[in-house]
Amino acid sequence: MGLKPAIPFHRELLEELGFPKGGFPLQHLQECGRVRETGFVWMKQKAPYVHFFVGTNTRVKYATEVTASYIEKFKMKKMTGIKSKQMLLWVPITEMSIEEPTSQKIYFKTSVGIGKSFPFTAFMTEEEKH
């Protein structure tokens, strides 16, 4: 287990798992880490951050600490620290996956088991789009 500089690590991790680099637009990252043996990852930022994804018309809140208890190619499971605003409620996001890489869609699952897919491009950084 080792710590790497936060920003490159969190983008490298998303890329390694097959997700766009803009999937977690965290701000002022202080620490990121990964336990390869168990698949656990964590990312800590100075303060909570709310981001509006224009491509999905969705507001997402990232807590000071974001974790995933299990990761593998195209999947992050048992996530904590991420909530999406659905109408008037903030709903915890517990999983994200790309079921079929050729579909170019990312599926997000909530703590109540309801999910929704969005286009891969909605989470890409400007650099990835060009």
What confidence tens digit (pLDDT) does each residue in 25-81 have?
A: 888 888 888 998 999 999 999 999 999 999 999 999 999 999 999 999 999 999 999
The domain total for the chain is 1
Q: How confident is the model at residue 1 (pLDDT cuts 50, 70, 90)?
A: very low
Q: Is residue 114 part of a domain?
A: yes
Q: Is residue 130 part of a domain?
A: no
**3-state class of 108 per DSSP?**
strand
Say how far residue 15 (Cα) sits from the centre of its chain. 11
Q: How far apart (Å, rounded) are the C-alpha atoms in residues 67 and 74?
A: 16
Q: Is residue 104 part of a domain?
A: yes
Q: Is residue 97 part of a domain?
A: yes
Domain containing 112 — which CATH number? 2.30.240
Residue 5 has pLDDT above 90, yes or no: no
Nearest-5° Cα angle at 53, 48 to 59 = 50
Q: Is residue 117 part of a domain?
A: yes
Tell me the per-residue pLDDT of 71-122, one tens digit each, with 9 for 90 and over: 999 999 999 999 999 888 999 999 999 988 788 899 999 988 889 999 999 9
Q: How confident is the model at residue 11 (pLDDT cuts 50, 70, 90)?
A: confident
Unique residue bearing structure tokens 């650099």: 127
- Looking at per-residue pLDDT, the higher value among 4 and 98 belongs to 98
pTM across the whole model: 0.88
Unique residue bearing structure tokens 């170019």: 104
Q: Is residue 129 part of a domain?
A: no
Q: Is residue 52 part of a domain?
A: yes
Q: Is residue 105 part of a domain?
A: yes
Length of the chain: 130
Domain containing 53 equals 2-124
